[in-house]
Structure 1
Amino acid sequence: MRKLWLNGTALVLSVLFIFPVYWMLSTSFKDNSQVLTKDPVFFFTPTFDHYSTATGVDLFWTYVANSFVVTVGAVLLALLVALAASFAIARMEFRGRRGMVIAVMMAQMAPWEILIIVVYLNARDAEMLNSLVTLTLIYFVMALPFTIWTLRGFIAAVPKELEESAMIDGCNRAQAFLRVIFPLLAPGLMATSLFGFIAAWNEYAMVLVLNKSPEAATLPLWLTQFQTNFGNDWGATMAASTMFTVPVLIVFLVLQRRVTGGLSAGAVKG
């Protein structure tokens, strides 16, 4: 009976989470006359007109390219800086270490929405508005605290004896990190990459304020182009939302299979 109750609860929650996604996907294939109806339409002849409308927007492929550039750039920068910072926090003793940890935690908890005005004024004064470089740097800073905090836990979980053994065998500190610790950080790197990708890919407020030029816009702004003074094109909006979700789903499916296993077990097997 206990297993039946748990399985039933899991089934109900799964339906609640999956149904909105199903409705978004099905609406993207419905005719306009079937989108806004008094009674929901579950059986229909699919049409791809809404996808043609969504991809037919001016500068669509520019939006796609901009989103991938700023997202991938921010994730790679965050991983590069966080690897060094998290190693220093986890392995080294230095003055201000505790304060640095507290600062990272506070930066992670602070809502970035309250800093939009400050960020805009700084970007304006530096003449860096409508720039993909500015957007990449901001997304990098937004993802950095979580990346540092997560990788710090993974590095701390690796036994120091492995690193010391490598140094006894002739490796210096950098070689020991690259050859011993770094291969064991794969789960942490995957998890933080996934978080950073989703956060940067979905971010809307910053690009709305900083990048007014259509040539510097990203896909979240593209999703708003189907709302006009004459009404909302819900079919095109759902088609755009479906396409917007696909890259995140692909990244998740690729990475989630690798975000498994404990570091200590992996170290013993190595």
Structure 2
Amino acid sequence: MRRRAWDAVGIALFVVLVFPVYWMVSTAFKPDDEVNSLTPTWFPTSPTLDHFRDAMARPYFWDTVRNSLIVVCAAVLFSIVLAFLAAVALAKYRFTGRKLFIGAMIGILMLPPAGLVIPLYVVLARYHLTNTLTGVTLTYLTFVLPFAVWTLRGFILGIPKDLEEAAMVDGSSRVGAFVRILLPLVAPGLVATSVFAFITSWNEYIFASVLLSDQSNQTVTVWLSYFYGTSRNTDWGALMAASTLTAVPVIIFFLLVQRRIMFGLTSGAVRG
């Protein structure tokens, strides 16, 4: 009975978490009369793609998607490379200021993003990087990079040093041991961290809305906010369709890397 009770709690929590996503997707396929009806329609009786066509035909949609892809891919690439090198240094070596560096990272993670908007805007304005994708990319690194370093450091600390030492005893150089032993074992951590960096950067709104003023330079999350406007008649069907389209790249990215996560967890020293 206790196990069934916990299963019921888990199922109820799952339904609560999934229902908003289901309602968004189902509303995107409903015709206008079902969307605006006072009686809720749980399943679209006459599915339509008109809302998706309307969302994609609106001005600057494809421009904002391109901008988001450029910013997010650049932020993920730079954050993973820099975080991996920093995590190796923090996990494998002892140097002056190491504890101070770790404490600074934890302090940055504790700061709310809204508290960094004004200082970052002042710094970027001094170097003429506001209203540019480069400035937004650098801004995203301020909250993605510390978490990536902290996460990858934990993965690297979990790898026994004996593996690298055994490889060097067998004749491998330090670089060879790094490439053949450490890098494959930390691959699941790299993939998991990249997923977090991608989702966080793709869904970010505050910094992009403050730093980007031209509509042609804005990201897709800022473009999505213009559906509300000041009108009382919000096009909920097109809004839900645009929200669904915004979530598609995240789902595709996760599906592309999930198999690598499972492969990394079952490879390396465990297989030997």
TM over 0.5: yes
Equivalent residue pairs, number = 270
Aligned-pair distance for 1:263?
A: 6.4
Q: Separation in 2 of the partners of 1:39 and 1:19?
A: 17
Is the 8 Å Cα contact of residues 159 and 264 (structure 1) preserved in structure 2? no
Normalised by the length of structure 1, the TM-score is: 0.94
In the other structure, the counterpart of 1:22 is: 22
In the other structure, the counterpart of 1:154 is: 155
User: Deviations for 1:83-102, whole angstroms, at most 9, x for unmatched residues?
Assistant: 11101110101111111111
Q: Separation in 1 of the partners of 2:183 and 2:264?
A: 14
User: Deviations for 1:55-103, whole angstroms, at most 9, x for unmatched residues?
Assistant: 0111221111111111011011011111111011101011111111111
In the other structure, the counterpart of 1:45 is: 46
Judged with a 3 Å threshold, the aligned counterparts in structure 2 of structure 1 residues 130 and 236 are, in CA distance, closer, same or farther, namely same
Q: Separation in 1 of the partners of 2:184 and 2:65?
A: 32
Aligned-pair distance for 1:154?
A: 0.8
Judged with a 3 Å threshold, the aligned counterparts in structure 2 of structure 1 residues 115 and 9 are, in CA distance, closer, same or farther, namely same
Q: Percent identity?
A: 44
Normalised by the length of structure 2, the TM-score is: 0.93
Is the 8 Å Cα contact of residues 31 and 46 (structure 1) preserved in structure 2? yes
In the other structure, the counterpart of 1:66 is: 67
Structure 2 counterpart of 1:236, from 219, 222, 238 = 238
Is the 8 Å Cα contact of residues 51 and 238 (structure 2) preserved in structure 1? yes
In the other structure, the counterpart of 1:183 is: 184
User: Deviations for 1:116-158, whole angstroms, at most 9, x for unmatched residues?
Assistant: 0111111111111111111111112221111111111111111
Please list, as runs of the form range in 1=range in 2, the aligned pairs for 1:1-270 lying within 5 A after superposition.
1-43=1-43, 44-231=45-232, 232-260=234-262, 266-270=268-272
Is the 8 Å Cα contact of residues 78 and 140 (structure 1) preserved in structure 2? yes
Is the 8 Å Cα contact of residues 108 and 145 (structure 1) preserved in structure 2? yes
Gaps in structure 2 of 5+ consecutive residues: none
Secondary structure of 1:228 counterpart = coil
Q: Separation in 2 of the partners of 1:2 and 1:196?
A: 38
Is the 8 Å Cα contact of residues 181 and 268 (structure 2) preserved in structure 1? no
Superposition CA RMSD, Å: 1.9
Judged with a 3 Å threshold, the aligned counterparts in structure 2 of structure 1 residues 72 and 155 are, in CA distance, closer, same or farther, namely same
